Amino acid sequence: MRLRAVLLAGLWLAGAASGAAADPAQRVVSMNLCTDQLAMLLAAPGQLISVSYLARDARSSAMAEVAQNFDINHGLAEEIAFLRPDLVLAGRYTTRVTVDMLQRLGYRVEVFQPENTLDDIRTNLLQMGRALGREAEAERMAEEMQQTLLSLREAADDKPGPETAVYYSSGYTAGARSLGHDIVTTAGLQNIAPKLGLGASGILPLEALILSDADMVIRGASYQGYSRSEEMLRHPALERMLAAPRLTAETRPEWTCGTPLTLSAIHDLRAAAGLEPLE
Amino acid sequence: MKLILALATLCAGLTLMSLFVGSGNVALRETIWAYFGAGDPLVVLVMQELRLPRAALALLIGAALGFAGAAMQGFLRNPLADPGIVGTSAFAALGAVIALQTGIVALFPMALPLMALGGALISVLALLALAGRGARTTTLILSGVALSSAAAALVSLVLNLSPNPFAANEITFWMMGSLADRSFRHVSVALPILLLGAMLIWRSRKGLDALSFGEETALSMGVNVRRLRLQLILGTACLSGAATAVAGMIGFVGLVIPHLLRRVTGGMPSRLLLPAALGSGALILAADIAVRIILPGRDLKLGVLTALLGTPVFLHMVWKSRGRDT
């Protein structure tokens, strides 16, 4: 009796799962800045109904303009539930409690890993394609990206570019195994963080940054309003170190989330470093 | 005099030592030359624009807190009075945070210490209204607790309302204080107000002595008590305001050092002022060296160390003052 119930339940679940795969979600809600952008790139018209409020913030989001066309949410479970989504997109580090709550309420939540390398972008793009039932579009976009990436990497291997330090607010830097590091090296620059023994993300003290004698320093873009973390980026000692001929650049929203748009940030970085543009 | 000399020597030694501690790995010789502007321009930059202002600020802010603590204790006739404990530093932090977050500082840099000074002033006046002069310890501490928590809550509120996502993470800086990556901009902004405060208190040191015999006695000695009180309030507000504006709240310094030195100098407030300033300067210098050695490059907050050192002394004082009140 009991066995039969279990079997039946199993059958029903299998049926439900295959049903979900058969017709793609119609009301998709994204609650993470990075899934927002992948979803906006891939979703069919009308399929995506809400993105996170950060997607409209031009300082964090590379698609702030596009995000104006969507409703926004603040990632609160109650708010998401009222949107009656049939698919919720979340990041690995989206508030755990909220994701658990939504799953308990029976919503289908697709969780994405953060992009720590440029290759992760491809993985997430294809995962998003499957989740939205837009595999063909995702495949095409990934292929296009791969071509550009190959030519960028080829050019980067040509000759070693200037030694570069990335300096985010509070003195964080892009260590090896971070998207920032991959962006810098693919642009043909040498990241000094691994040389200084800094891992995925480490703190680069201002003293060490100045003494590193880097040829180029890429500083984090500043937000509106004051913060001490960002005041460090404008420390008089750093400003004096960066006086010409040292090269400077700023990070862009494309650095925050890995998307196909990140590649355009790499092209711009090459230009800022004075490397010749690619075809 | 001997004491002052000894403390001054200690300060000088620690200032020198502070100049040689940092995250950058630079040889001793090279470091020395860099302070005279010779050698690798980048090393010169690090020494003159990062380490020098840091050492200068440590000395200045320590001295200011010690001076303010000693003066406040004489003025309120209570050894437990200290800008950190009675809420003056918290109100100064509130003033500074408002000045920074409203963007006034970007237009007018002196607004930072001035608004902190304003906050400190409000707190001293509120304390006097709540607890009164020569207040019982319990009343003083309770008023301080209430004022501190209110100001700390408002600091958090202002930082949380900021459009800058990093601002809210900086609550610990304001509550615990740090000298990491400060520059000469901060020195030049704080220095005038600190000097003004020190001058106000220094000029009222004789009156402060008279006041220690009680207000009536001071009046009969021909002291203009009203004016004296105003000078002392403004002086302590200047010192703790400007110090907090650039370094955050660093607690217990103004409490511990005067307490320890009082055994040597005796009860006269005027004889305590200078040693307290020098001793506190030495303490902050030592603490700032320690945070850089314990966790290099990680910005361990100064207030963490001073609180760990200060709380036992504070508790000891509370223990001793038990029973005196009732």
**Residue B67 pLDDT > 90:** yes
* CA A250 to the chain's CA centroid: 17
A11 has a pLDDT exceeding 70: no
Residue B4 lies in a domain: no
Which amino acid is residue B219, in one-letter code? L
Taking CB atoms and an 8 Å cutoff, what residues of chain B touch A223?
163-166
Task: Using alpha carbons, select from B180, B172, B201 the residue that is nearest to residue B57.
Answer: B180
> Is B95 part of a structural domain of the chain?
yes
Rounded to an integer, what distance in angstroms lies between the CA atom of residue A5 and that of residue A7?
Answer: 5
Q: Is B61 helix (H, G, I), strand (E, B) or coil?
A: helix
What is the model's pLDDT at position A147? 95
Same domain, A52 and A137: yes
User: What is the CATH classification number for the domain harbouring A105?
Assistant: 3.40.50.1980
A243 touches chain B (CB under 8 A): no
CA–CA–CA angle A222, A217, A194 (5° rounding): 110
Cα–Cα dist B124/B133, whole Å: 11
A101 in the same domain as A44: yes
The three-state DSSP-derived secondary structure of B74-139 is HHHCCCCCCCCCCCHHHHHHHHHHHHHHCCHHHHCCCHHHHHHHHHHHHHHHHHHHHHCCCCCHHH
Query: d(Cα A183, Cα A164) in Å, to the nearest integer?
Result: 11
Residues of A in contact with B181 (CB under 8 A): 171, 206, 232, 235
Residue A148 lies inside a defined structural domain of this protein: no
Residue ending a domain, among A86, A112, A142, is A142
Domain that holds residue B113: 53-321
Span B232-260, pLDDT tens digits: 999 999 999 999 999 999 999 999 999 99
From the list B46, B49, B105, the residue facing A211 with the nearest CB is B46
A116 & A165 share domain: no
Q: Are A242 and A248 in contact (CB under 8 A)?
A: yes
* Closest chain B CA to residue A54: B165
Q: Is residue A147 part of a domain?
A: no
Question: Residue A243 to residues A237, A247, B249: CA-CA distances in angstroms?
Answer: 10, 9, 34
Sign of CA dihedral A52, A53, A55, A56: positive
Residue corresponding to tokens 């004489």: B74
Residue B45 in any domain: the answer is: no
- Residue B23 within a domain: no
Coil, helix or strand for A71?
strand
- What is the extent of the structural domain holding A96? 24-142
pLDDT in tens, B81-93: 889 989 999 999 9
Rounded to two decimals, what is the model's pTM? 0.86
Could you say which of A142, A171, A186 is where a domain stops? Answer: A142
pLDDT in tens, B261-320: 998 998 889 999 999 999 999 999 999 999 999 987 778 899 999 999 989 988 888 888
Q: Does residue A181 sit in the same domain as residue A267? A: yes
| Residue A263 banded pLDDT, cuts 50, 70, 90 | very high
Identify the CA nearest to A238 among candidates B294, B185, B166, B177: B185
Q: Which of A113, A142, A171 is the last residue of a domain?
A: A142
A223 to chain B, any CB pair closer than 8 A? The answer is yes
Domains: count for chain B: 1
- Tell which of A56, A198, A227 to mutate to test the B interface (max B CBs under 10 Å): A227
Write out pLDDT tens, residues A178-227.
999 999 999 999 999 988 877 666 888 899 999 999 999 999 988 888 88
Q: Is residue A10 part of a domain?
A: no
Determine, yes or no, domain membership for B98: yes
Pick from A205, A207, A230: which is nearest to B166 by CB?
Answer: A230
Pair A165, A61 in one domain: no
The one-letter amino acid at A190:
Q
Q: What is the CATH number of the domain that holds B245?
A: 1.10.3470.10
**ipTM over the 0.90 cut-off:** no
Domain-embedded: residue A240: yes
DSSP structure class, residue A88: E
The answer to whether position B30 is within a domain reads: no
* Same-domain status, A219 and A124: no
In a domain, A99, yes or no: yes
Q: Examine residue B287 and state whether it is found in any structural domain, yes or no.
A: yes
Number of domains observed in the structure of chain A: 2
